[in-house]
Chains A and B, each alone.
Chain A
Amino acid sequence: DIQMTQSPSSLSASVGDRVTISCRASQIISTYLNWYQQKPGKDPKLLIYGASNLQSGVPSRFSGSGSGTDFTLTISSLQPEDFATYFCQQSYTPYTFGQGTIVEIK
């Protein structure tokens, strides 16, 4: 199976900060990479699909980039509602998720 490694595992940031989360695949997956946000006790929410495509209804402060094995999720200006856990997922075959990155309030 393809292994997905996210970094960092957690980070502390302030409202207004620019935040970057990385995700690395153990083999080339083209742009078969999705990003999800999950808040405690809730189901995950799709943010980005195909590495860089913003899901409908998701604020434009979220963006994704990368291809091959290295990917990045960027939040351009962190908002209070963005404090959550973020997961990457490869949809090449079969599906696997990264271990998650917790974004906490500094």
Chain B
Amino acid sequence: QVQLVQSGAEVKKPGSSVKVSCTASGGTFSFYAIAWVRQAPGQGLEWMGGIFPVTDTTTYAQKFQGRLTITTDKSTNTAYMDLSSLTSEDTAVYFCARDDRRDGRWYFDLWGRGTLVTVSS
């Protein structure tokens, strides 16, 4: 059974960067896309972007263009989310999710447990 295992909580200063990892344990994600979704405290879900590991094709939400980088290391079945120029508004739980497809319809069917990123001076 594949699980997505995320790295631990981070505390960052405003203006710095954070890199969160997501490792597929018990399997491979090479044939699936991986998405990153965040959730600010008490708020809803926000899709940030994703990557298709087979081709390393990335897609980013316009809001994060220029300060979000998503990469993969296929040798370790790990995806990374790197967010720069952090502000307090980036304080959130960051989830990775497997982006699968059936009958032409895409959906997130497997999620990591989330990584809390706190931005504070």
Contact = CB atoms under 8 A, between A and B. Distances in A.
B61 interface: yes
Contacts of A43: 95, 97, 111-114
A53 B62 CA distance: 30
Interface in B88-121: 95, 97, 102-103, 105-109, 111-114
B45 A97 contact: yes
B32 interface: no
Nearest to B49: A94
Contact of B44 (A34, A53, A55, A98): A98
Interface residues of A, number: 25
A96 B48 CA distance: 9
A91 to B, nearest CB: 4
Majority DSSP secondary structure for residues of A touching B: loop
A91 B105 contact: yes
For chain B, the bracket of interface size reads 20 to 34
Majority DSSP secondary structure for residues of B touching A: strand
Interface in A81-102: 87, 89, 91, 94-100
Contacts of A53: 102-103, 105
B105 A44 contact: no
A89 B111 CA distance: 15
Contact of A31 (B35, B45, B105, B108): B105
Nearest to B96: A43
